[in-house]
Amino acid sequence: MPRDLNRTLFICLLFLIAPLAGCVSENEDSDAGGRTFIGGQNTDSASIKIAGSSTVYPLATGWIEDFTELNPDISASVALGGSGAGAAAVCSTGNDHVEIGSMSRTFKPIEATLVDGERFFNCKSSDIELTQVPIAMDGITIVLKRGGGAEQCVESIGGLSVAQLRWIFSDWTEDDLVYSQEGGLELSSITPNNDGDGVREWSDFSENPSCEELNINLWGPDSQSGTYEYFGEMIFCKKCFLGNYGYPEESFDSQRVGGYQNSANDNVIINGVSEDGAAIGFLGYSYYDEHQSELTAVGLSKNSTHSAMDGIEPIIQPTSDSIRSETYLPLSREIYMNVDNASWSTVLPFFEYAFSGDGQSTILEVGFVPLPESTFNETMAILNLHNSEVMA
Protein backbone atom coordinates (compact mmCIF):
# COMPACT_ATOMS: atom_id res chain seq x y z
CA MET A 1 0.00 0.00 0.00
CA PRO A 2 1.47 3.45 -0.88
CA ARG A 3 2.78 5.47 2.04
CA ASP A 4 0.53 8.45 1.17
CA LEU A 5 -2.56 6.25 1.26
CA ASN A 6 -1.49 4.80 4.62
CA ARG A 7 -1.20 8.31 5.99
CA THR A 8 -4.61 9.29 4.61
CA LEU A 9 -6.22 6.23 6.21
CA PHE A 10 -4.59 7.08 9.53
CA ILE A 11 -6.01 10.60 9.54
CA CYS A 12 -9.40 9.19 8.61
CA LEU A 13 -9.14 6.73 11.52
CA LEU A 14 -8.73 9.64 13.88
CA PHE A 15 -11.72 11.24 12.19
CA LEU A 16 -13.82 8.22 13.12
CA ILE A 17 -12.80 8.48 16.77
CA ALA A 18 -13.62 12.18 17.05
CA PRO A 19 -14.20 14.93 14.46
CA LEU A 20 -11.16 16.46 12.79
CA ALA A 21 -10.91 19.21 10.22
CA GLY A 22 -10.93 16.62 7.37
CA CYS A 23 -9.18 13.72 5.70
CA VAL A 24 -6.60 14.76 3.14
CA SER A 25 -3.47 13.11 1.84
CA GLU A 26 -0.03 14.61 2.11
CA ASN A 27 0.06 15.31 -1.63
CA GLU A 28 -3.27 17.14 -1.47
CA ASP A 29 -2.16 19.48 1.29
CA SER A 30 1.03 21.23 0.16
CA ASP A 31 1.49 24.90 -0.55
CA ALA A 32 3.05 26.35 -3.70
CA GLY A 33 6.45 26.62 -1.99
CA GLY A 34 6.69 22.83 -1.66
CA ARG A 35 6.40 22.77 2.14
CA THR A 36 4.66 19.69 3.47
CA PHE A 37 1.62 19.73 5.71
CA ILE A 38 0.59 16.65 7.65
CA GLY A 39 -2.54 16.63 9.77
CA GLY A 40 -2.92 20.29 8.90
CA GLN A 41 0.43 21.36 10.37
CA ASN A 42 3.35 23.05 8.64
CA THR A 43 6.43 20.88 9.20
CA ASP A 44 8.89 23.25 7.51
CA SER A 45 12.08 23.77 9.57
CA ALA A 46 10.73 21.83 12.55
CA SER A 47 13.07 20.17 15.03
CA ILE A 48 12.23 17.08 17.08
CA LYS A 49 14.54 15.88 19.84
CA ILE A 50 13.99 12.57 21.62
CA ALA A 51 16.05 11.38 24.59
CA GLY A 52 15.83 8.60 27.14
CA SER A 53 15.37 4.86 27.22
CA SER A 54 17.85 2.51 25.58
CA THR A 55 15.02 0.00 25.31
CA VAL A 56 12.92 2.40 23.24
CA TYR A 57 15.93 3.54 21.18
CA PRO A 58 15.63 1.03 18.29
CA LEU A 59 11.99 1.97 17.69
CA ALA A 60 12.57 5.70 18.13
CA THR A 61 15.45 5.68 15.63
CA GLY A 62 13.50 3.52 13.17
CA TRP A 63 10.57 5.91 13.21
CA ILE A 64 12.74 9.03 13.03
CA GLU A 65 14.80 7.74 10.11
CA ASP A 66 11.72 6.91 8.04
CA PHE A 67 9.86 10.06 9.03
CA THR A 68 12.70 12.44 8.18
CA GLU A 69 13.25 10.64 4.89
CA LEU A 70 9.67 11.52 4.00
CA ASN A 71 10.06 15.02 5.48
CA PRO A 72 13.65 16.17 4.77
CA ASP A 73 12.99 19.71 6.06
CA ILE A 74 12.63 18.32 9.59
CA SER A 75 15.72 17.89 11.75
CA ALA A 76 15.55 15.20 14.40
CA SER A 77 17.77 13.43 16.90
CA VAL A 78 17.51 10.49 19.31
CA ALA A 79 19.77 10.29 22.38
CA LEU A 80 20.34 7.51 24.92
CA GLY A 81 20.71 7.85 28.67
CA GLY A 82 17.97 5.76 30.27
CA SER A 83 14.37 6.38 31.27
CA GLY A 84 15.46 8.65 34.10
CA ALA A 85 17.37 10.80 31.63
CA GLY A 86 14.30 10.91 29.37
CA ALA A 87 12.12 12.11 32.24
CA ALA A 88 14.68 14.76 33.21
CA ALA A 89 15.17 16.04 29.65
CA VAL A 90 11.49 16.43 28.79
CA CYS A 91 10.91 18.21 32.12
CA SER A 92 13.95 20.46 31.77
CA THR A 93 13.66 24.17 30.96
CA GLY A 94 17.34 24.37 29.98
CA ASN A 95 19.30 23.70 26.82
CA ASP A 96 18.96 19.97 27.35
CA HIS A 97 15.17 20.13 26.95
CA VAL A 98 13.62 17.72 24.46
CA GLU A 99 10.18 17.55 22.92
CA ILE A 100 9.85 13.83 23.66
CA GLY A 101 11.23 11.84 26.61
CA SER A 102 11.24 8.09 25.89
CA MET A 103 10.74 5.72 28.82
CA SER A 104 10.31 2.00 29.42
CA ARG A 105 8.52 2.67 32.70
CA THR A 106 6.05 5.24 33.92
CA PHE A 107 7.05 8.32 35.93
CA LYS A 108 8.19 8.15 39.52
CA PRO A 109 6.42 10.51 41.96
CA ILE A 110 9.65 12.50 42.30
CA GLU A 111 9.70 13.10 38.52
CA ALA A 112 6.10 14.01 37.68
CA THR A 113 2.64 14.08 39.24
CA LEU A 114 -0.27 12.27 37.64
CA VAL A 115 -3.20 14.54 36.75
CA ASP A 116 -6.41 14.17 34.76
CA GLY A 117 -6.51 10.41 34.45
CA GLU A 118 -3.79 7.92 33.56
CA ARG A 119 -1.83 9.62 30.79
CA PHE A 120 -1.31 13.25 31.82
CA PHE A 121 1.44 14.51 34.13
CA ASN A 122 2.91 17.70 35.59
CA CYS A 123 6.69 17.80 35.98
CA LYS A 124 7.93 18.16 39.55
CA SER A 125 11.04 20.14 38.54
CA SER A 126 9.23 22.65 36.29
CA ASP A 127 5.81 23.83 35.16
CA ILE A 128 5.94 21.69 32.01
CA GLU A 129 2.82 19.61 31.35
CA LEU A 130 3.19 16.21 29.71
CA THR A 131 1.19 13.60 27.88
CA GLN A 132 2.25 9.96 28.15
CA VAL A 133 1.80 8.15 24.82
CA PRO A 134 1.93 4.33 24.86
CA ILE A 135 3.75 3.31 21.68
CA ALA A 136 4.34 -0.45 21.86
CA MET A 137 4.64 -3.47 24.13
CA ASP A 138 7.89 -4.97 25.39
CA GLY A 139 8.75 -8.00 27.47
CA ILE A 140 11.82 -7.94 29.69
CA THR A 141 13.60 -11.07 28.53
CA ILE A 142 15.82 -13.31 30.66
CA VAL A 143 18.74 -14.43 28.53
CA LEU A 144 21.50 -17.06 28.63
CA LYS A 145 24.35 -17.86 26.30
CA ARG A 146 23.05 -20.12 23.53
CA GLY A 147 24.70 -23.52 23.94
CA GLY A 148 26.22 -22.62 27.33
CA GLY A 149 26.08 -24.50 30.57
CA ALA A 150 23.43 -22.24 32.08
CA GLU A 151 21.13 -22.86 29.11
CA GLN A 152 21.51 -26.63 29.50
CA CYS A 153 20.72 -26.40 33.20
CA VAL A 154 17.62 -24.25 32.75
CA GLU A 155 16.39 -26.51 29.95
CA SER A 156 16.71 -29.49 32.28
CA ILE A 157 14.49 -27.84 34.90
CA GLY A 158 11.99 -26.43 32.40
CA GLY A 159 12.44 -22.71 33.05
CA LEU A 160 12.62 -20.31 35.96
CA SER A 161 10.06 -18.74 38.29
CA VAL A 162 9.92 -15.22 39.71
CA ALA A 163 11.03 -16.78 43.01
CA GLN A 164 14.05 -18.37 41.38
CA LEU A 165 15.00 -15.10 39.68
CA ARG A 166 14.78 -13.37 43.04
CA TRP A 167 17.10 -15.96 44.58
CA ILE A 168 19.51 -15.49 41.67
CA PHE A 169 19.68 -11.68 41.64
CA SER A 170 18.86 -10.55 45.20
CA ASP A 171 21.44 -9.15 47.60
CA TRP A 172 19.53 -10.67 50.53
CA THR A 173 20.94 -13.71 52.28
CA GLU A 174 19.14 -17.00 51.83
CA ASP A 175 17.90 -16.77 55.41
CA ASP A 176 16.38 -13.35 54.71
CA LEU A 177 14.76 -14.62 51.52
CA VAL A 178 13.16 -17.44 53.50
CA TYR A 179 12.44 -16.02 56.94
CA SER A 180 12.06 -12.25 56.48
CA GLN A 181 8.51 -10.93 56.65
CA GLU A 182 9.08 -9.75 53.07
CA GLY A 183 10.74 -13.02 52.02
CA GLY A 184 8.76 -16.22 52.03
CA LEU A 185 10.72 -18.22 49.45
CA GLU A 186 10.47 -22.00 49.67
CA LEU A 187 14.10 -22.98 49.12
CA SER A 188 13.35 -26.72 49.16
CA SER A 189 11.41 -26.08 45.97
CA ILE A 190 13.56 -23.32 44.46
CA THR A 191 16.97 -24.92 44.99
CA PRO A 192 16.37 -28.58 45.88
CA ASN A 193 20.08 -29.41 45.40
CA ASN A 194 21.35 -26.49 47.48
CA ASP A 195 24.65 -27.48 49.14
CA GLY A 196 24.35 -24.80 51.82
CA ASP A 197 27.69 -23.14 51.07
CA GLY A 198 26.09 -19.71 50.59
CA VAL A 199 27.31 -19.49 46.99
CA ARG A 200 24.60 -19.25 44.34
CA GLU A 201 25.49 -21.88 41.78
CA TRP A 202 23.67 -23.51 38.89
CA SER A 203 24.09 -26.88 40.59
CA ASP A 204 21.85 -25.68 43.45
CA PHE A 205 18.84 -26.02 41.12
CA SER A 206 19.18 -29.71 40.37
CA GLU A 207 21.36 -32.78 40.74
CA ASN A 208 21.07 -33.21 36.97
CA PRO A 209 24.62 -33.21 35.50
CA SER A 210 23.51 -30.39 33.18
CA CYS A 211 23.52 -28.09 36.21
CA GLU A 212 27.21 -27.64 36.88
CA GLU A 213 28.78 -26.32 40.05
CA LEU A 214 29.45 -22.88 38.57
CA ASN A 215 28.80 -19.44 40.07
CA ILE A 216 25.76 -17.74 38.55
CA ASN A 217 27.14 -14.55 36.97
CA LEU A 218 24.76 -11.61 36.67
CA TRP A 219 24.27 -9.00 33.93
CA GLY A 220 21.69 -6.26 33.37
CA PRO A 221 21.05 -2.55 32.81
CA ASP A 222 22.32 0.22 35.07
CA SER A 223 20.25 2.06 37.67
CA GLN A 224 19.21 4.84 35.26
CA SER A 225 17.37 2.31 33.13
CA GLY A 226 13.63 1.83 33.28
CA THR A 227 14.24 -1.86 32.59
CA TYR A 228 16.42 -2.09 35.71
CA GLU A 229 13.69 -0.48 37.81
CA TYR A 230 10.80 -2.42 36.33
CA PHE A 231 12.62 -5.74 36.82
CA GLY A 232 13.52 -4.81 40.40
CA GLU A 233 9.95 -3.87 41.27
CA MET A 234 8.49 -7.02 39.71
CA ILE A 235 11.03 -9.56 40.99
CA PHE A 236 12.14 -8.29 44.42
CA CYS A 237 9.98 -7.14 47.31
CA LYS A 238 8.65 -4.02 45.61
CA LYS A 239 8.57 -1.75 48.65
CA CYS A 240 12.01 -3.00 49.68
CA PHE A 241 13.44 -2.27 46.23
CA LEU A 242 11.85 1.19 46.20
CA GLY A 243 13.31 1.93 49.64
CA ASN A 244 9.96 2.65 51.27
CA TYR A 245 10.18 3.71 54.91
CA GLY A 246 10.05 0.79 57.32
CA TYR A 247 11.04 -1.84 54.75
CA PRO A 248 14.48 -3.49 54.54
CA GLU A 249 16.31 -2.54 51.37
CA GLU A 250 16.66 -5.14 48.64
CA SER A 251 18.49 -4.76 45.35
CA PHE A 252 20.80 -6.50 42.90
CA ASP A 253 23.76 -8.30 44.44
CA SER A 254 26.93 -6.68 43.11
CA GLN A 255 29.19 -7.85 45.96
CA ARG A 256 29.38 -11.60 45.56
CA VAL A 257 31.65 -13.39 43.11
CA GLY A 258 30.02 -13.07 39.71
CA GLY A 259 27.85 -10.29 41.11
CA TYR A 260 25.68 -7.88 39.16
CA GLN A 261 27.51 -6.23 36.30
CA ASN A 262 25.58 -3.47 34.58
CA SER A 263 25.68 -1.08 31.67
CA ALA A 264 23.57 1.63 30.04
CA ASN A 265 24.48 0.00 26.73
CA ASP A 266 22.43 -3.12 25.98
CA ASN A 267 25.13 -4.39 23.64
CA VAL A 268 27.52 -4.62 26.59
CA ILE A 269 24.99 -6.85 28.36
CA ILE A 270 24.60 -8.98 25.23
CA ASN A 271 28.35 -9.42 24.96
CA GLY A 272 28.69 -10.18 28.67
CA VAL A 273 26.13 -12.97 28.55
CA SER A 274 27.03 -14.37 25.12
CA GLU A 275 30.68 -14.78 26.16
CA ASP A 276 29.97 -16.56 29.47
CA GLY A 277 28.17 -19.88 29.65
CA ALA A 278 27.52 -19.38 33.38
CA ALA A 279 25.92 -15.93 33.00
CA ILE A 280 22.31 -14.80 33.14
CA GLY A 281 21.05 -11.36 32.19
CA PHE A 282 17.96 -9.41 31.25
CA LEU A 283 17.09 -6.79 28.63
CA GLY A 284 14.29 -5.66 26.35
CA TYR A 285 12.73 -8.19 23.98
CA SER A 286 13.86 -6.33 20.85
CA TYR A 287 17.53 -6.79 21.77
CA TYR A 288 17.02 -10.50 22.38
CA ASP A 289 15.09 -10.79 19.11
CA GLU A 290 18.02 -9.30 17.21
CA HIS A 291 20.56 -11.63 18.87
CA GLN A 292 18.82 -15.01 18.93
CA SER A 293 21.84 -16.64 17.31
CA GLU A 294 23.87 -15.78 20.44
CA LEU A 295 21.24 -15.81 23.19
CA THR A 296 18.42 -18.05 24.33
CA ALA A 297 15.35 -16.76 26.21
CA VAL A 298 14.17 -18.31 29.46
CA GLY A 299 10.57 -19.36 29.98
CA LEU A 300 9.08 -17.75 33.09
CA SER A 301 6.57 -18.78 35.74
CA LYS A 302 5.05 -15.93 37.73
CA ASN A 303 5.18 -17.98 40.96
CA SER A 304 6.85 -15.86 43.64
CA THR A 305 7.51 -18.54 46.27
CA HIS A 306 8.24 -21.84 44.49
CA SER A 307 10.17 -23.12 41.49
CA ALA A 308 8.91 -23.23 37.93
CA MET A 309 8.97 -27.03 38.04
CA ASP A 310 6.34 -27.17 40.79
CA GLY A 311 3.70 -26.45 38.14
CA ILE A 312 1.72 -24.04 40.30
CA GLU A 313 1.82 -21.48 37.47
CA PRO A 314 2.46 -22.19 33.77
CA ILE A 315 5.88 -21.49 32.27
CA ILE A 316 5.47 -18.85 29.55
CA GLN A 317 8.02 -18.08 26.86
CA PRO A 318 8.47 -14.42 25.84
CA THR A 319 6.92 -14.14 22.37
CA SER A 320 5.04 -11.46 20.46
CA ASP A 321 1.76 -13.16 21.36
CA SER A 322 2.49 -13.64 25.08
CA ILE A 323 3.79 -10.08 25.43
CA ARG A 324 0.86 -8.49 23.58
CA SER A 325 -1.71 -10.54 25.52
CA GLU A 326 0.23 -9.84 28.76
CA THR A 327 0.29 -13.52 29.66
CA TYR A 328 4.09 -13.30 29.94
CA LEU A 329 3.91 -12.14 33.53
CA PRO A 330 5.07 -10.16 35.31
CA LEU A 331 7.55 -8.82 32.75
CA SER A 332 5.26 -7.64 29.92
CA ARG A 333 4.98 -3.85 29.87
CA GLU A 334 4.05 -0.81 27.83
CA ILE A 335 6.78 1.52 26.59
CA TYR A 336 6.22 5.26 26.19
CA MET A 337 7.04 8.52 24.55
CA ASN A 338 6.22 11.44 26.86
CA VAL A 339 5.48 14.71 25.10
CA ASP A 340 5.88 18.28 26.31
CA ASN A 341 2.36 19.57 25.68
CA ALA A 342 3.77 22.82 24.28
CA SER A 343 5.36 20.80 21.46
CA TRP A 344 2.34 19.09 19.95
CA SER A 345 2.19 21.31 16.89
CA THR A 346 5.72 20.12 16.09
CA VAL A 347 5.53 16.43 17.03
CA LEU A 348 1.99 15.53 15.93
CA PRO A 349 3.06 14.77 12.34
CA PHE A 350 5.74 12.42 13.70
CA PHE A 351 3.17 10.49 15.76
CA GLU A 352 0.83 10.45 12.79
CA TYR A 353 3.54 8.63 10.87
CA ALA A 354 4.38 6.35 13.83
CA PHE A 355 0.79 5.08 13.97
CA SER A 356 0.35 4.76 10.22
CA GLY A 357 0.59 1.39 8.52
CA ASP A 358 4.28 1.94 7.75
CA GLY A 359 5.07 3.07 11.29
CA GLN A 360 3.35 0.07 12.80
CA SER A 361 5.32 -2.21 10.50
CA THR A 362 8.51 -0.71 11.93
CA ILE A 363 7.45 -1.90 15.41
CA LEU A 364 7.65 -5.48 14.19
CA GLU A 365 10.81 -4.92 12.17
CA VAL A 366 12.78 -3.76 15.23
CA GLY A 367 11.49 -6.53 17.49
CA PHE A 368 8.76 -4.82 19.50
CA VAL A 369 5.12 -5.82 19.82
CA PRO A 370 2.17 -3.67 18.68
CA LEU A 371 -0.19 -2.36 21.33
CA PRO A 372 -3.31 -4.36 22.22
CA GLU A 373 -6.37 -3.00 20.43
CA SER A 374 -7.81 -1.28 23.51
CA THR A 375 -4.55 0.57 24.23
CA PHE A 376 -4.10 1.43 20.55
CA ASN A 377 -7.55 3.01 20.53
CA GLU A 378 -6.71 4.91 23.71
CA THR A 379 -3.59 6.28 22.02
CA MET A 380 -5.63 7.31 18.97
CA ALA A 381 -7.96 9.25 21.25
CA ILE A 382 -4.99 11.00 22.89
CA LEU A 383 -3.57 12.02 19.52
CA ASN A 384 -6.97 13.16 18.34
CA LEU A 385 -7.38 15.30 21.46
CA HIS A 386 -4.10 17.11 20.79
CA ASN A 387 -4.84 17.37 17.07
CA SER A 388 -8.10 19.13 17.94
CA GLU A 389 -6.24 21.52 20.25
CA VAL A 390 -3.62 22.31 17.60
CA MET A 391 -6.27 22.85 14.93
CA ALA A 392 -8.37 25.13 17.15
CATH number (domain holding residue 117): 3.40.190.10
3-state secondary structure the chain: CCHHHHHHHHHHHHHHHCCCCCCCCHHHCECCCCCEEECCEECCCCEEEEEECCCCHHHHHHHHHHHHHHCCCCEEEEEECCHHHHHHHHHCCCCCCCCEEEECCCCCCCCEEEECCCCEEEECCCCCEEEEEEEEEEECEEEEECCCHHHHHHHHHCCEEHHHHHHHHECCCHHHHHHCCCCCCCHHHHCCCCCCCCCCEHHHHCCCCCCCCCECEEEEECCCCHHHHHHHHHHCCHHHHCCCCCCCCCCECCCCCCCCEEECCHHHHHHHHHCCCCEEEEECHHHHHHCCCCEEECCEECCCCCCHHHCCCCCECCCHHHHHCCCCCCCEEEEEEEEEHHHHHHHHHHHHHHCCHHHHHHHHHCCCECCCHHHHHHHHHHHHHHHHHHHC
Q: Do 289 and 171 belong together in one domain?
A: yes
Last residue of a domain, one of 330, 345, 365: 330
Q: Do 31 and 152 belong together in one domain?
A: no
pLDDT band at 37 (very low <50, low <70, confident <90, very high): very low
How confident is the model over 341-350, as a mean pLDDT?
Answer: 95
Tens-place pLDDT, residues 70-101: 999 999 999 999 999 999 999 999 999 999 99
Q: Do 220 and 201 belong together in one domain?
A: yes
Would the pLDDT of 27 be above 50? no
pTM of the entire predicted model: 0.85
Residues of the chain with pLDDT > 70: what percent?
89
Last residue of a domain, one of 301, 330, 359: 330
> Tell me, what's the pLDDT at 45?
57
Would the pLDDT of 241 be above 80? yes
Would the pLDDT of 35 be above 90? no
Residues of the chain with pLDDT > 90: what percent?
85
Q: 293: domain range?
A: 141-330
Pairwise pLDDT comparison (91 vs 40), residue with the higher score:
91
Q: Do 237 and 104 belong together in one domain?
A: no
Q: Do 315 and 353 belong together in one domain?
A: no
Number of domains in the chain: 2
Last residue of a domain, one of 330, 361, 383: 330
